[in-house]
Amino acid sequence: MKLVFLGTCSALPTPKRNTSCTALIQDNNEMWLFDCGEGSLRSLLSRTDTNVGNITAIFLTHLHGDHIFGLFSVLRWLTLHGITRTLDLIAPVGIKELIETVQRITDLDIDYPINFIELYGSKETILSPFNKSQFSANAIQKLGMPIIALPLSHRIRSFGYFLDIPYNYEMYSGEKEKSHRLLICGDTGNGYGRPPGTFFNQSEIPPSLSLGDTSSATPSSQQITTSSSSSICSPSSSATPSSSTQPFILRPEPKSLSVTSTDLQESYMGAMPMLGPSVTPPVTPKPLSSDSSSRPVRTTHNFGDAGDWERVERIVQYVDTLVHETTYPADRERDAEFWGHSTTVNTAQRAKRLKAKQLVMMHFSARYFKHSDDGLKLMKKETERECGPSIKVICPFDGTDLYLK
């Protein structure tokens, strides 16, 4: 069994790196995808060991575009090649409505059933084994391995997926030496200090723009085809999210936001600070210092908070491999807090707290390697220095294979 890193870049793809996508190829060649950013299908087709037709499950950590824009190409490919078996699609709430909307507007054909498992952001969700899960998901439950979705702190609902992968399926007994403990994280930070009214507002949602009232909703596990939509199970009432759970919307840009084409060009070349010279938030965050009171205050609603990682530690306890976003170097802590992402130090500290044997850095900002890999080399050194000698740090290229031993 191995991981194949098909996309390792963050929001802006480059000629050598696609946006987020990781494939887990099992011993029987069955394949699960974790995120599916733009370019994922081309990356899959360019390899001889990744048959797109072998995809039986897709896990989306969250619904930002750089993690899902390649999904529709993969769904279309499966139809064009006559795939008829059910596809398990595990993602935050909203994915079903998104795909139905794309189907309706673009005439997207999906000639096989999709088993939607939509996740809400309040508590962990057991996806497998089937006797402990409220969902029915044949592809991910037939092996019997424990799989848990864990909410993380980000601007929108984001999740990590913990898998306790058996080395030998027939002999799997849950013993430590017979499994590989893998945690693949979505985008996550320690909360963020975005000033009020900028870009997103997840606390005030006009009914006409809402994705739906989730105050009484329950996690859904549903099928969709081009001809019908039906429920395949009835989740227990104990899984009902709290009334405070709300979907997100993208609100209009504030009048104070003005970005010119020159600004965008300089930003892509890495010359412009992350907030940009023409972006003037209503409140200017103070520079960070060792005094926590001077740090930007989280003033807009955040799905998850810093306490989410404590829950991850309590449930997972330890891992063999941690795949974690590392968007920024250590000196970009202010940007990481603003956007709800992680620095090299954040990532290394979490790896140490989970007693990871190896850490895979992912989701790099393109500004650090557009012209050379020097920026990524420095980020890797920062991570290694913080991790210490007991953790192997891996900074993969697109196409890198990692065997789970």
The residues that are catalytic are: 66
- A 10 A CB-CB count for 236 gives 10
First vs last C-alpha separation in the chain: 8
For the record, the structure tokens of 137 come out as 């998901």
For the record, the structure tokens of 373 come out as 């890999």
Q: How many helices (H) and strands (E) in the chain?
A: 10, 16
Helix runs in 240-363, H state only: 261-268, 307-316, 333-339, 344-353
Backbone angles phi, psi at 4, to 5 degrees: -120, 120
Backbone angles phi, psi at 29, to 5 degrees: 75, 0
Find the helix packing angle between 307-316 and 344-353, rounded to 10°. Answer: 40
Report how far residue 118's alpha carbon sits from residue 95's, in angstroms, rounded to the nearest whole number.
7
For the record, the structure tokens of 353 come out as 């707290």
- The 3-state DSSP class for residue 362 equals strand
For the record, the structure tokens of 56 come out as 């039986």
Report how far residue 134's alpha carbon sits from residue 90's, in angstroms, rounded to the nearest whole number.
13
| C-beta separation of 103 from 226 below 8 A | yes
With 0-12 CB in 10 A as exposed, 13-18 as middle and 19+ as buried, what is 310? exposed
151 upstream amide cis, omega within 30 of 0: no
Backbone angles phi, psi at 346, to 5 degrees: -55, -50
Strands 179-185 and 2-7: unpaired
Q: Which residues pair with 181 in a beta bridge?
A: 164
36: enclosing H helix or E strand: none
Q: What is the DSSP string of 258-277?
A: ---HHHHHHHHTT-S-TT-T
